Amino acid sequence: MADFTYALDADGVATITWDVAAKSMNVMSTDGFQLLSDLVDQGLADAACKGIIITSAKKDFAGGMDLNVIAEMRKGGAEAIFDGVMMMHNVLRKIERAGMDPKTKKGGKPIVAALPGTALGIGLELPLSCHRIIAADNPKAKIGLPEIMVGIFPGAGGTTRLARKLGAMMAAPFLLEGKLSDPKAAKAAGLIDEVVPAEELLTRAKEWVLSAKEADLVKPWDEKGFKMPGGAPYHPAGFMTFVGASAMVNGKTQGVFPAAKALLAAVYEGALVPFDTALKIEARHFTSVLLNPSSSSMIRSLFINKEALEKGANRPKVEDQSVKKLGVLGAGMMGAGIAYVAANAGIEVVLIDATQEASDRGKAHAESILDKGMKRGKVTAEKKAETLARISATIDYAALKGVDLIVEAVFEDPKVKAEVTKKAEAAAPGVIYATNTSTLPITALSAASSASENFIGIHFFSPVDKMMLVEIIRGKETGEKAVAKALDFVRQIRKTPIVVNDARFFYANRCIIPYINEGIRMVAEGVEPALVENAARLVGMPLGPLQLVDETSIDLGVKIAKATKAAMGADYPDGAVDDVLFWMADQGRMGRKANAGFYAYSDRGERLGLWDGLATKYPTDKMQLSLSDVQHRLLMAQVLEAVRALEEGVLTDIREGDVGAILGWGFAPWSGGPFSWLDIIGAPRAVEICRGLTAQFGPRFQAPNLLREMAEKGETFYTRFASQKAA
């Protein structure tokens, strides 16, 4: 079946209906675009056709471009990309001009986009080229241009049209942040023109086509004397906008996201020239972004592979294990968060702590999250009541009868954990039992279980309601059913899972701890703390290592250091780090929670700047390291750990390594993750960097054998491991 079909009714209104076969959501392909173009030509040429409605037969309008098209375009190089983009511009421009005389602007036919639901990416760029956009009042629908989230920008005229429609300032949240809106909010923001009850969508579209005047078809930018809303760059108001936008983008992205820079350049340069030239400028910048390896890596990790993991790429073939009733042990920070996300997803929850007061406090945490949602208009009173009603807060283990999954989040103490495991399993025999431990080996904890095949790690990140990654850990004896159960639970609560094998700190913490330690080690060596923090931000890390340890707390760092040292004995490599960490703890500078850490804080908890008292104990050297040395140290500290995790079989899939790194600890998202970053720079260059760092800073930077072998063979991670998992 063709992606688009054409039908002309008795009143002379043609409807072009988008309906891609065998897909629940329309996506645009090259052939689809050609067909759309032909059908528009047909309507414009047909004397009986008075105007055209473009709509969808599905509940949504469209999810965006078929990413395979982008991959294909990329293969052809710059010219193929530019030509492909200009082809799209020409088709959309034809829709916009709709057959009118270019001089008099008369004689065009009205074309309206009627959106039944979600309209994203090209699914909004196409409507933006139409003369009117009418959406069904479907509060679940999302309307917007999310391209920037995967490292590209709207390149089918969306950038140029929206900047001219709303002005650069008002368009900024949609273009630069990929903000999505429901139809009513989209109307209020000026993205679309009308919202009507769903059942009236096509009637209203037809009515508009039949009543449209010639003037309704001329876009403001095609009128003589058009001025950019908010001012063009050399207008005093526009000057302020563009200077501000440039500062904002660089402040937020530190200049590491090529797409954000290119987008801003396309808007700025486009605003100085006529519309059709602006489209060419947009196409040129889009081409450069598509050719940048950052965009392909981001699309691969944040779109294709993230979705594959969410859909169960690594799920054992076991029947559906959806959770109906969940037990949560420990109603502290993590347990309360887990209870909330589960109840929010419609799962019944029994929340148990040692005292009724503590259990109730856990439930109250869920209530406070829901209250915040209500304040922002995202949660209704009914939704709040329903969600809370699903959580029973108790101290009675007998209430666990009938639960099919338990997640334990009590104190990080093996004795306490063993005790609750026994009690809970006695109350719910045969249950799949998960621990949320962040540091204790799963296999050792499973010794307390009467059925270690049912014992697994489900490691959430804090705060549970915001962090999207969940790390599932297989113990030595964990069975397939337990893995499937954990994965199905993560799918129910709409988070992204990775599945790793049991080893110290699993995957995420294993990589993030060396990052923090490398930052602290540099402080001990006399590197300017500001250089450490800025180097991290300038390479795309959301938080510098010193800010990160302040957030997670110095005493947790001390605790982990002590436990690691006890476990590793003479091999423990982080003495220099501990000197600083323990000294900070002695000064009572426990981090953000104490309003004092590597940073100074105001009484109200605002971060003020790096604490100058640090220099009294750790004076900074006159000669400082180069920015790139600091950046390489911080990146390699994480990346080499990821490679070792793969080498040792803790990670079994590089896709999980990349997706987990970005979602779990914010690893430089522009790179697509640690393995993608290594592929971008190439294994030979990575080995060379390691050699330099090892010579200067010590053996922890020695390239793992796997990396060295790949450098010799000229392999990349995504080629070497592609046959293992289609990535």
Q: Footprint of ligand NAD on this chain (CB under 6 A)?
A: 329-335, 352-354, 358, 409-412, 416, 419-420, 436-438, 459-460, 462
Tell me which of 125, 147, 425, 471 is the catalytic residue: 471
Look up residue 161 and give its amino acid.
R
Q: What are phi and psi of 216, to 5 degrees?
A: -65, -15
Q: How far is the CB of 365 from ligand NAD (least distance, A)?
A: 10
Query: Based on CB atoms, which residue is closest to ligand NAD, 440 or 576?
Result: 440
User: Any idea which residue has 């050609």 for tokens?
Assistant: 34
Q: Closest-CB residue for ligand NAD?
A: 332
Tell me which of 438, 452, 671, 676 is the catalytic residue: 438
Query: Based on CB atoms, which residue is closest to ligand NAD, 416 or 563?
Result: 416
Query: Based on CB atoms, which residue is closest to ligand NAD, 334 or 637?
Result: 334
3-state class percentages of the chain: helix first, strand second, coil last, to nearest 5? 55, 10, 30
Query: Please, are residues 493 and 518 in contact by the beta-carbon 8 Å criterion?
Result: no
Query: Please, are residues 325 and 350 in contact by the beta-carbon 8 Å criterion?
Result: yes
Query: Based on CB atoms, which residue is closest to ligand NAD, 278 or 329?
Result: 329
What Cα–Cα distance (Å) separates residue 371 from each residue in 359, 421, 642, 676? 19, 33, 39, 40
Query: Based on CB atoms, which residue is closest to ligand NAD, 6 or 460?
Result: 460
Q: How far is the CB of 405 from ligand NAD (least distance, A)?
A: 16
Contacts of 669 (CB under 8 A, 6+ apart): 257, 298, 302, 540, 662
Query: Based on CB atoms, which residue is closest to ligand NAD, 209 or 554?
Result: 554
Nearest-5° Cα angle at 154, 152 to 160 = 135
Count the neighbouring beta carbons within 10 Å of the beta carbon of residue 450.
Answer: 13
Q: Which parts of 212-292 fold into alpha helices (H)? A: 236-253, 258-270, 275-291
CA distance 69 to 661: 27
The region that residue 7 occupies, defined by phi over 0 for left and psi between -120 and 50 for alpha, beta otherwise, is: beta
CA distance 697 to 692: 8
What Cα–Cα distance (Å) separates residue 656 from each residue in 221, 461, 643, 708? 46, 16, 12, 22
- Is 509 among the residues known to form the active site? yes
CA distance 509 to 511: 5
- Is 459 among the residues known to form the active site? yes
Q: How far is the CB of 327 from ligand NAD (least distance, A)?
A: 11
Query: Based on CB atoms, which residue is closest to ligand NAD, 135 or 420?
Result: 420
Q: What is the CA radius of gyration of the chain?
A: 28
Query: Based on CB atoms, which residue is closest to ligand NAD, 192 or 498?
Result: 498
Q: How far is the CB of 341 from ligand NAD (least distance, A)?
A: 13
Q: How far is the CB of 719 from ligand NAD (least distance, A)?
A: 35
CA distance 486 to 264: 42
Q: Helix or strand or coil: residue 435? A: strand
The count of residues in the chain is 727
Contacts of 346 (CB under 8 A, 6+ apart): 390, 492
Tell me which of 285, 365, 459, 632 is the catalytic residue: 459
Query: Based on CB atoms, which residue is closest to ligand NAD, 289 or 358?
Result: 358
* CA-wise closest residue to 551 among 512, 495, 587, 507: 512
Query: Based on CB atoms, which residue is closest to ligand NAD, 12 or 332?
Result: 332
Q: How far is the CB of 652 from ligand NAD (least distance, A)?
A: 22
Strand order across the beta sheet in which 391-394 lies: 391-394, 348-352, 325-329, 405-408, 432-435, 455-460, 469-474, 496-501
CA distance 473 to 460: 11
Query: Please, are residues 92 and 111 in contact by the beta-carbon 8 Å criterion?
Result: no
Query: Based on CB atoms, which residue is closest to ligand NAD, 36 or 351?
Result: 351
Tell me which of 449, 509, 517, 671 is the catalytic residue: 509
Exposed (0-12), middle (13-18) or buried (19+): which is 236, by Cβ within 10 Å?
A: exposed
The region that residue 494 occupies, defined by phi over 0 for left and psi between -120 and 50 for alpha, beta otherwise, is: left
CA distance 596 to 611: 8
Q: How far is the CB of 465 from ligand NAD (least distance, A)?
A: 13
Q: How far is the CB of 510 from ligand NAD (least distance, A)?
A: 14
CA distance 705 to 640: 11
How many C-alpha atoms does 366 have within 13 Å on its Cβ side?
Answer: 29
Just list the catalytic residues: 438, 459, 471, 509
